[in-house]
Structure 1
Amino acid sequence: MTKLKGLLLTEGMHGMISQVEGLAKALDLDFIHEKIELNNFWKMIPPKLTPAQNFTFKNKINQNFNIVISCGRKSVIPSIYLKKIYKNKIMNIHIQDPKVSLENFDLVVIPEHDGLNGKNVLKSKGAIHYLRNDELEKNIDYLKPKINKEKIVTLVTGGPNKYYDFNEKEINRIFSKINDNFIIKGYQLIFIPSIRTPQKIIDYAKKYFDNNQIIIDKVDKKAYLSSLKLTDYIVVTCDSTSMISEAAMTGKPIYVAQMEPVRNNYRFKKFFELFKSLKIIKDLENSLEKWSYDKLNETDKISDYIKEQFKKYDFS
């Protein structure tokens, strides 16, 4: 049977790509990415006030797809426009709250902690993502030559956003807890930056930690996958629910390195409460515990439901 074709629409950020690509892979689609670029004026206008017309975005999209999977504010209007043009010949799925009427989409995939409801809403515990255990297994040897201790801790760092500014005091406090909880107890650190991690934090990690620690100094997917497979503990900075959700597919203890928010972080708090209730995460404090939980596999759960809906569409 010929694979269905997928069109993935995002703003190009890792968290968004991880979600749309993860769903596309779980649906077994033959997919391509399209990084959406809005025309200048429409960059400033919220989606609910933007007409669903192709003059609002720069991308030239031809119909060679069956499923549109979008994520992020910029991708909302192109998805609605394509659905309006091709109607039942395509299925359009949006991930995250689109901030417009949910009726513009066939399905909307929303994290449970967002509290959004609707007849076409599929709820996930945390963010769906692209990680699969076979990918981790395939990359396990990537960092092995650098490992010289039996116990490993991985620190996955995000970067500044509207809620957390990653100031020097907060970073110093996180690094100090990594040192006191892990390194002085015989653990080797693997430091993994993301695309949002400022260079000054990477440089500071190199200075702060001794030469026995592994400091990855650029975005390196293989290092990320290898570290998740090799590590005993995972520490993730609190700014990224996507990276915490990705880590939860390992079943390994996850500490969240909390920082003082610079604005109301209500949605983050709801996410942390949910994951604590599932016994997936604990806050990084001044002690070390061991615990286990059921590996999170929300992407497959969501995709199984979507596959059942395919028969309603004219994918000819």
Structure 2
Amino acid sequence: MAAPRPLRIWAVSDGRAGIEAQALGLAEAVARLKPAHIAVKRIGWRAGLGRLPWRLIPPRAQSGDPIAAPYPDIWIAAGRATLPLSTRMLKWSEGRTFVVQLQDPKAPLSSFDLVVPPEHDGLAGPNVFPILGAPNRITAEKLGLELARFQERLAPLPHPRVAVIVGGKSKAHDLSPARARALSAAIASAVEGAGGALLLSFTRRTPVAAQQAMTAALRHLPGIIWEGAGENPYFAFLAAADAILVTEDSTNLATDAAATGKPLFVLPMDGRSAKLARFHAELQRRNIARPFVGELTAPPYAPLLETDRAARELLHRYDGSA
């Protein structure tokens, strides 16, 4: 008997790194359970139409990767930009494509076969499967491969190695130079006190002034500061770290770090988000993360593998497997 053909999965987003990683992470988790070919699709909209409410955006104005038949077996989309297409995919495919939307789509849930939002959004429904945090691409194998790529630079660094992943400006949060300097002083004290090394990485959202302030305040420590030039050692930093510090503005950063099972601490920022506060409170309730107060050790916890859990649920709803 011939083996069944691999599933065809499209991971659809607007191409922003954090959003694409969610769709691609869930697609890869499905492919670990069942043979699949994954295609990445990046969505764009002509003439600034992407700023309109999604219901008013005509699909023919899509300017990114082609979206046309034959459609995939499984469509996994993340982000507002995908909604004019995701909400029509069941109709276009005549129900043959299993349509998955990540995050809270703020659209009729009946448009999708499965919605996978973060628990802290509070979304509920028969086709809703909430997870703690967001889907990601973290696996032990990926971390091992990334660590090997940067091992020459990382191997000489003393332990404990402290990874610090810094987000930045969002609707709810910001990182002022004053806050950046205060965080830097606390981080430097902890790393110096432990005799360790710093693995510092900024994101695209980190304000330039805050990044400059932190770099100036922390460059004297043993370690590596990645400011955006050359290959990104983000995953290698997570793999090499003995403890991980992330800013409170990002679900993705905390979820990635929690997938390692390593001590995880949350750095405060300017501003506040009630939803993210609920997320961090749940991480703390499960003894996964805690506010950073200068400590670098914490009790062990099982790695947070919500992406794998969502993949099993997806396949169960798709064809009864997993």
User: TM-score w.r.t. structure 2 length?
Assistant: 0.89
Match of residue 215 from structure 2: 206
203-212 vs 82-91, which moves further: 203-212
1:284 positional shift: 1.3
Match of residue 69 from structure 2: 63
Aligned AA for 1:13?
R
- Mark the CA change 1:288 to 1:133 in structure 2 (over 3 Å): closer, same or farther: closer
Equivalent residue in structure 2 for 1:13, among 11, 16, 30 = 16
Match of residue 90 from structure 2: 83
Gaps of 5+ in 1: none
Equivalent residue in structure 1 for 2:56, among 47, 50, 56 = 50
Q: CA contact under 8 A between 1:66 and 1:89: conserved in structure 2?
A: yes
> Which whole-Å CA distance do the structure 1 matches of 2:242 and 2:194 have between them?
13
> Which whole-Å CA distance do the structure 2 matches of 1:41 and 1:297 have between them?
37
Q: CA contact under 8 A between 2:192 and 2:221: conserved in structure 1?
A: no
1:139 positional shift: 2.0
Aligned AA for 1:272?
H
36-45 vs 231-240, which moves further: 36-45
Aligned AA for 1:291?
P
Q: CA contact under 8 A between 2:163 and 2:241: conserved in structure 1?
A: yes
> Which whole-Å CA distance do the structure 1 matches of 2:115 and 2:61 have between them?
22
Equivalent residue in structure 2 for 1:253, among 240, 258, 263 = 263
What secondary structure sits across from 1:309 in the alignment?
helix
Match of residue 145 from structure 1: 152
1:82 positional shift: 2.5
Match of residue 272 from structure 1: 280
Whether 1:310 aligns to 2:318 is: yes
1:136 positional shift: 0.6
> Which whole-Å CA distance do the structure 2 matches of 1:5 and 1:152 have between them?
40
Aligned AA for 2:136?
H
1:174 positional shift: 1.2
Match of residue 306 from structure 2: 298
- Mark the CA change 1:310 to 1:287 in structure 2 (over 3 Å): closer, same or farther: closer
Q: How does 1:117-128 map to 2 (within 5 A)?
A: 117-128=124-135
Gaps of 5+ in 2: none
268-277 vs 213-222, which moves further: 213-222
Q: CA contact under 8 A between 2:135 and 2:307: conserved in structure 1?
A: yes
> Which whole-Å CA distance do the structure 2 matches of 1:269 and 1:252 have between them?
21
Aligned AA for 1:252?
K
- Mark the CA change 1:250 to 1:219 in structure 2 (over 3 Å): closer, same or farther: farther
Aligned AA for 2:292?
L
Equivalent residue in structure 1 for 2:236, among 215, 223, 226 = 226
> Which whole-Å CA distance do the structure 2 matches of 1:222 and 1:79 have between them?
31
Equivalent residue in structure 2 for 1:237, among 226, 234, 247 = 247
What secondary structure sits across from 1:89 in the alignment?
coil
Q: CA contact under 8 A between 2:181 and 2:213: conserved in structure 1?
A: no
> Which whole-Å CA distance do the structure 2 matches of 1:221 and 1:113 have between them?
33
Cα displacement string for residues 115-169 of structure 1 (whole angstroms, at most 9, x for unaligned residues) = 1000100111111111111011112233333333122100011121111121101
Match of residue 217 from structure 1: 227
> Which whole-Å CA distance do the structure 1 matches of 2:300 and 2:221 have between them?
31
What secondary structure sits across from 1:159 in the alignment?
coil
77-86 vs 165-174, which moves further: 77-86
1:45 positional shift: 2.2
Match of residue 199 from structure 2: 190
Cα displacement string for residues 219-270 of structure 1 (whole angstroms, at most 9, x for unaligned residues) = 7676112111111100001111111001111111111101121xx5111111
Aligned AA for 2:298?
K
Aligned AA for 2:242?
D
Taking only aligned residues, the RMSD between alpha carbons, in angstroms, comes to 2.0
Identity %: 25
- Mark the CA change 1:98 to 1:219 in structure 2 (over 3 Å): closer, same or farther: farther
Q: CA contact under 8 A between 1:5 and 1:67: conserved in structure 2?
A: yes
Number of equivalenced pairs: 308
Whether 1:283 aligns to 2:291 is: yes
Cα displacement string for residues 46-67 of structure 1 (whole angstroms, at most 9, x for unaligned residues) = 22x436x423432431224221
208-217 vs 102-111, which moves further: 208-217
Aligned AA for 1:57?
Q
User: TM-score w.r.t. structure 1 length?
Assistant: 0.91
